[in-house]
Amino acid sequence: MVTKNQVKYIQSLSHKKQRDEDGVFIAEGPKIVRELMQLDQVKPREVYGTLDWWESQPTSWRQQPWAVEVNEEELQRLSFLTTPNQVVAIFNKPVIHPHPGGWQIMLDGIQDPGNLGTIIRIADWFGIQQVVCSPDSADAYNPKVVQSSMASIGRVEVDYTDLVQYVVDHAHRVFYAATLDGQPIKEVKASRPGVLVIGNESKGIRPELMQKLSHFITIPRQGEAESLNAAVATGIILSHLIT
């Protein structure tokens, strides 16, 4: 059974302000919820599942205070998806302790939630535990970002900070800026982990940040497309830098 207040509360979590105040995020669907439940880094706060879903989960889960059984109509009211899928869950934001000195991704104004989620998933694939974003980037705990991260949101730390200051404060690291006229990816040898800098989908890296950077890296173009999708570019460059 779901109360009006529970529905109202979940809806309020579409707003970043509410998510930040409560330190929570929402995930939906059996695959991603199941995977997040099994991580130490996140803890469930409320889990609304259909009878079907609960029956396929460990029985101990159903006795937890955060477990709620809902019918299809209730699930519909709780869900942010056009086609709700068995379960909607509220989790505490992950607590992650990245290895010091590992690779990082820096995002300057990534706007599209799908791109951000995909980049978090790419980070997780390559074993990168930290993504540093400019304050005007999409929020990592936006439900669309969470869904496209495919549970990687539970394993990657995403921070928001002034990027120019960050570069100044981490002058001992090598920052590789993805641009259209840098050194071809195949020629770049990263002898130790650095930071890959990816710019906004249409404007690229902003001039104030570019001024602080000195390593530029490019995916050579053989055809006509003006640019590559930001997440695709991130994946391609990392696959060459990280061996």
Q: Give me the helix-helix angle, 230-241 and 113-125, nearest 10°.
A: 10
Number of residues this chain uses to bind a copy of itself (CB under 8 A): 38
Q: Binding string, 109-128, against a copy of itself, x = CB under 8 A? A: -----x---x--xxxxxxxx
- Check residue 103 and report its DSSP letter: -
Q: How many CA atoms lie within 13 A of 140 on its CB side?
A: 26
Q: How far is CA 44 from the centre of its chain?
A: 18
The answer to whether 155 contacts a copy of itself (rule: CB under 8 A) is yes
Report the residue number, 41 or 66, with the smaller CB distance to a copy of itself: 41
> In the bound complex, what is the minimum distance in angstroms from residue 152's beta carbon to a copy of itself?
5
Q: Which of 13, 174, 188, 219 binds a copy of itself (CB under 8 A)?
A: 219
> In the bound complex, what is the minimum distance in angstroms from residue 231's beta carbon to a copy of itself?
6
User: In Å, how far are 134, 209, 211 from 206, measured between CA atoms?
Assistant: 11, 6, 9
The answer to whether 181 contacts a copy of itself (rule: CB under 8 A) is no
Phi-psi region of 85 (alpha: psi -120 to 50; beta: other; left: phi over 0): beta
The answer to whether 217 contacts a copy of itself (rule: CB under 8 A) is no
The answer to whether 96 contacts a copy of itself (rule: CB under 8 A) is no
Among the candidate windows 57-65, 73-81, 204-212, 217-225, which touches a copy of itself by CB under 8 A? Answer: 217-225
The gap between the terminal CA atoms of the chain, to the nearest Å, is: 51
What is the arrangement of strands in the sheet containing 24-28, beginning at the earlier edge strand? 24-28, 87-92, 44-49, 67-69
Interacting residues with a copy of itself (CB under 8 A)? 35, 114, 118, 121-128, 148, 150-152, 155, 185-186, 219, 221-229, 231-236, 239-240, 242-243
